[in-house]
Structure 1
């Protein structure tokens, strides 16, 4: 499985028992969605390796207590401590309305209600406190804050996001 075909679910955070059980921190709003998985991909030495789950249960809301089939003691569990966990993109729950996954909107047209087509979404910058749409219009890169009240509609059918940006925000890029 290639990393590009997967999404980051979380990481193996700590050991839970001397029998090799681990606690995985899940980077999700609803960890309960993932408590009955059969397997996960663990990033081990730069490769995604399938690990089969014998049993799992929620632990303190955002941790998943996991017993993997082939990990039966603390030494084996130590080898995967801190490793990232991935699942295939096909296992992401479908979102509706104006909710979306960042990878899902790459290639969508960004349309401003006032200015019309302002370019193509080429990425999302989520390295700062405010995530930004990275929009490309010819040679111009436009950064638009990903704020709920700027997003009028996510049109999956036409691969378009309709925005209502404040006057001057996008104009700054287009008129320079």
Structure 2
């Protein structure tokens, strides 16, 4: 996947029988997903232009160019949608795209390397960074707050964490 694209949503199957597609938006302003122009599959081999038609449970119904049947819409279920980075809004200094955090080296406040960010999750109560490393049997989840992650340095490729007690085994 190109670093020039960011995941902004995913198809979630068909909506009705007329070829509309259900879309989950991962955007801060969910309806903005239709404003980013052409959207791509992760491997960049397929592109989609979508037009939101209405809000539905867990997302939107949308018309997608070239999709005219329920079967075609169902076949797209699970396909993640990527927008060109230059089509996305610039972020304030204290906000980051999840894709930019994944792979960063994680240091503790003493400068010791703890691992790397392997994923970013959000289950509704805020972002969690998943930290995987050689000394961890299972990845650790750290709330992505200023208190727990005081430093994010994309240029240096690292973050500093001050996790809640008990997050990492002693």
Could you tell me the TM-score, scaled by structure 1's length? Answer: 0.64
> Higher strand share goes to which structure?
1
Number of residue-to-residue matches in the alignment: 163
Specify every segment of 5 or more residues in structure 1 that has no aligned partner in the other structure, as ranges.
Answer: none
How much does 1:87 deviate?
A: 0.9
* Separation in structure 2 between the aligned mates of residue 49 and residue 8 of structure 1, nearest angstrom: 15
Aligned pairs (5 A) from 1:1-176: 2=1, 7=7, 9-16=9-16, 18=18, 20-41=19-40, 48-53=45-50, 55-60=51-56, 63-80=59-76, 82-88=77-83, 90=85, 91=87, 93-113=89-109, 115-124=110-119, 126=121, 131-136=128-133, 139-141=134-136, 143-147=139-143, 148=145, 149-165=147-163, 170=168, 172=170
* Separation in structure 2 between the aligned mates of residue 76 and residue 118 of structure 1, nearest angstrom: 47
C-alpha change, 1:126 and 1:23, in structure 2 (3 Å) is closer
Could you tell me the TM-score, scaled by structure 2's length? Answer: 0.65
Specify every segment of 5 or more residues in structure 2 that has no aligned partner in the other structure, as ranges.
Answer: none
* Separation in structure 2 between the aligned mates of residue 158 and residue 47 of structure 1, nearest angstrom: 28
* Separation in structure 1 between the aligned mates of residue 84 and residue 16 of structure 2, nearest angstrom: 28
Larger Rg: 1
What RMSD over aligned residues (CA atoms) do the two structures have, in Å? 3.9
* Separation in structure 2 between the aligned mates of residue 38 and residue 58 of structure 1, nearest angstrom: 18
